[in-house]
Structure formats: structure tokens, C-alpha cells
Amino acid sequence: MSTVPKRQSYLDAPYGIASWLLTKDHKRIAMLYLISITIFFAIGGLFALGIRLELITPKGDLLTADTYNKMFTLHGVIMIFFFLIPSIPATLGNFLIPIMCGTKDLAFPRINLLSWYLYVIGAALTLGLAVFDPKIGGDPVLFQHLFWFYSHPAVYIMILPGMGVMSELVAAISRKQVFGYGFVAFSSLAIAVIGFLVWGHHLFVSSQSAYAGMVFSIISYLVAVPSAVKTFNWTATLYKGSISYQTPMLYAFGFIGLFLVGGLTGLFLAAVGLDVHVHDTYFVVAHFHYIMVGGTLMAYLGGLHYWWPKITGRLYPEGWSKLSALVIFLGFNLTFFPQFIVGYLGMPRRYAVYPPEFQVLNVMSSAGASILAIGYLLPAIYFTYSLVKGVAAPANPWGAKGLEWTTSSPPPTFNFDRTPVVTEATHMYGHPEEVKVV
């Protein structure tokens, strides 16, 4: 018989700065990540605000060119490396996966330290590699290949966790198993593998050979197939499902719609001839944001609303949360859809000054960004409110399956009073229809 110490919520454990900063509890670490990435998201959003304010007028009359360049660079770096990549794995993944597996905590915590050492070693071996310096035989195109060989798979590192969240939300809220779950699971593997073979579509306008461009174009079309499989299967899951239009489901709908637009416009960029026309324009900016922000962020917010009662033991106000989901969806489309048009018309990205005929579309985009900012601010307000005034959450407010819903809200320090043993696994994720403890 496996037992643990007396039940105590992870939030009720000893407090103090040291108890949090030195904690080994995966749930507390997830909360530290949640606070940190929220701060970085706000900082990155402030830089985006500066960008959109500058682009309201055609002339560079708010920021200097150098300041504008710094703003969009910092916006991109912060949002990608300090928000989009860690958001779902470091918060929801860190908090939930051990509980979903029925364990007391994560295994191999020292691997985090090892990853830092590998990072330092990699950095030390990189300022003497010849690919970066033409003076000693380096090739700028070779550098681009090296850069995009990492950077394009990083896109899938950001979106694949969001796809996992989507499968959980669609199944739970529609009260159905994911249609063709095996295909959905293997499509993730296909995306991960093919994603390493498409980096060259970023180099269509470089001096790489025409034959290489044709090959990368074909493979780029191929990677759309497993992505489409997921979208079709999620839609088929919703068909005739017992759908409840609660906040997580609204974010799931938003994810499907925005990801669909982002994916279809990605096919435009996979076509060599069209990519030459829209390369380095705002068309690319809009496509990227529909996939990364419209996809990853909608999935993150959907997952956060779905598991918030489990994480905090409190319920948030449903009316305000539904409003925020609608405001974010509308604000996002008003922000980025005009960028498809202005990019196709020829406006390059990274420029603070542009021809006057593009001003109307840029004003629309900046207005949408203001609405989007309000939509993002609302969850921060009512989530904080729920911590103080929120109604106590039951163990399973959604009637969902999964081991995380069999423990209390919030979970005890060691997740379960006794180690759970799953005796039947009829649900698609191996979620238990019957759970016994020994």
C-alpha cells in the first residue's frame, strides 16, 4: 500500500519566498511560470502597442527608426521565447501531466540543469563557426539554412502543445471521444517529422537552387495534410456532440477558425511564385500571427479557463469570461486580417514609414489591437478576482474524465492520498472509466 502524508493543498503548504523559490513541487513551479510568462506577455504587448501607435500615420512621427527597430525586435523575441514557447508546456504541462499520469511529481528534475549546461556549451562552440563570417569562408545563404532549420521546427514546438489542449477541450466539452483519435495522434508525429524538412521555403528569394525551391515547396504542401487531419477530426468530433457553449469551448471554436485561416494562408507562402511576391511583407506577419497567436494563445487561454478551477480551487465569472473570448476573437481578426491585404498590396514589414495609401488598413489594424488588448486584460482581472471572491470549485466542474478530475481542487501537495491504479482505459486518451486505489 502506497500512502502519502496528511492531505494538504499545495497552496496551503508553508508560505514564504524561500518556500516558493526553492520548491520542488511541480504545481508551484507551474504557478511561478504562470506569473513570469504573464509579466513577459505584458511587456511584449507594450512593445506591440508602440509599434501600432507608430503605424497609425504614414510618417515616422512618434518613434525614431532606430527605436522602432528595437521595439519590433524585442516584441518578437519576448513573445516567442518568453511566452509562446513556454506558455502551455511550462504552465499547464508542468501542473497537469504528473497528475494525469497518477504520479506524485515530475521525474528527473536535474535534467533542467543539464539543459542549461548544454545551452552554454552550444553557445561556446557557436561567436568561431565559419558559417557566420564570410571573411573565413562563411556563406550567408548557408547561415539562413542553419537559422531556419531550427526556427521553423520551433513553430511546431509552439503549436503542437496547443493542439493537445484542443483535443482535450473538444472531447470534454462535446462529451465525445475525438473522432479518429489514432489519426490525430499520428498526425502530431507526422507534423514533428515533416516540420524538420520544410525550412527552405523561407529561402525562396535567396540564391538557393530552383530545384531545392521546388522540393521545399512540395514538402511544405505535404505538412499541411496532418494539420488538416486534426482540424477535420476536431470538427467531426463536434458534429452531433452534446456541446456546451462554456468559455473553454468558445476558445476552442476560436482556435479552429484562426488556425484554419493561418494554415490556408501558409499554402500561399508554400507556392514559390506567390511567395516571391509577398515575401517579407505584412502578409507573412499576418500568417504567422494567425498560427502562433491565434492558435497557441487561444489554446492556452482555453486550457487555462478549463483547468483554472483545478489549479486554484476557484470558479471565475462565466459571463465575463465569455465576453473576453468574443472580444479577443473580434479584436484579433480586426488587427491582423487587414495585414493580409496591405501585405499583398506590397507593404513591407519592419518599416515605420509607408505610402499614404496604406493608412486606412493600418488604422484598422491599430484599432483592432486596442480591442485585443482589452480582451487580454479582462482575464487578468477576473482571474485575480476569482482568487479572492471566487466560488469554491468542485473536484470536477465539467463532468470530464481524466485522473486530474479525481483529486480535489486544488490538488493536495502529493496530488493523491493514495496512488491511483487505472483498471480500465476505454477513453481515447487512456482516461479511466473506472479508477481504483491500492
What confidence tens digit (pLDDT) does each residue in 85-137 have? 888 988 898 899 888 888 887 777 667 546 545 545 765 665 755 666 677 77
What confidence tens digit (pLDDT) does each residue in 332-350 have? 999 999 999 999 999 999 8
Q: Is the pLDDT of residue 429 over 70?
A: no
| Max avg pLDDT among 139-148, 185-194, 424-433 | 185-194
Q: Is the pLDDT of residue 13 over 70?
A: no
Is the distance from CB of 325 to CB of 371 less than 8 angstroms? no
- Side-chain-side CA neighbours of 22 within 13 Å: the count stands at 6
* Helical packing angle, 359-389 and 298-312, nearest 10°: 10
The closest alpha carbon to 181, from 426, 378, 412, belongs to 426
Q: Is the pLDDT of residue 45 over 70?
A: yes
Question: Looking at residue 132, what is its pLDDT?
Answer: 60
Question: Looking at residue 104, what is its pLDDT?
Answer: 82
Q: Is the pLDDT of residue 208 over 60?
A: yes
| Cα gap 23→43, rounded to integer Å | 26
Q: Which residues contact 381 (CB under 8 A, 6 or more apart)?
A: 320
Sequence ranges of the domains in the chain: 17-437
- Please give the grid coordinates belonging to residue 374: 482589452
Which H/E stretch holds residue 435?
strand 434-437
* Distance, CA of 52 to chain centre: 22
| Cα gap 348→267, rounded to integer Å | 20
Provide the 8-state DSSP code for 90: I
Provide the 8-state DSSP code for 413: T
Question: Looking at residue 370, what is its pLDDT?
Answer: 95
| Cα gap 223→344, rounded to integer Å | 24
Instruction: Determine whether 22 is exposed, middle or buried from the number of CB atoms within 10 Å of its CB (0-12, 13-18, 19+).
Output: exposed
Which H/E stretch holds residue 336?
helix 318-344
End-to-end, the C-alpha distance of the chain in Å comes to 6
| Cα gap 425→438, rounded to integer Å | 17
Question: Looking at residue 110, what is its pLDDT?
Answer: 64
Is the distance from CB of 164 to CB of 307 less than 8 angstroms? no
Name the CATH topology of 17-437: Cytochrome C Oxidase; Chain A (1.20.210)
Three-class HEC string of 177-229:
CCCCHHHHHHHHHHHHHHHHHCHHHHHCCCCCCHHHHHHHHHHHHHCHHHHHH
The percent of residues in the chain predicted with pLDDT above 70, rounded, is 88
Q: Is the pLDDT of residue 425 over 60?
A: no
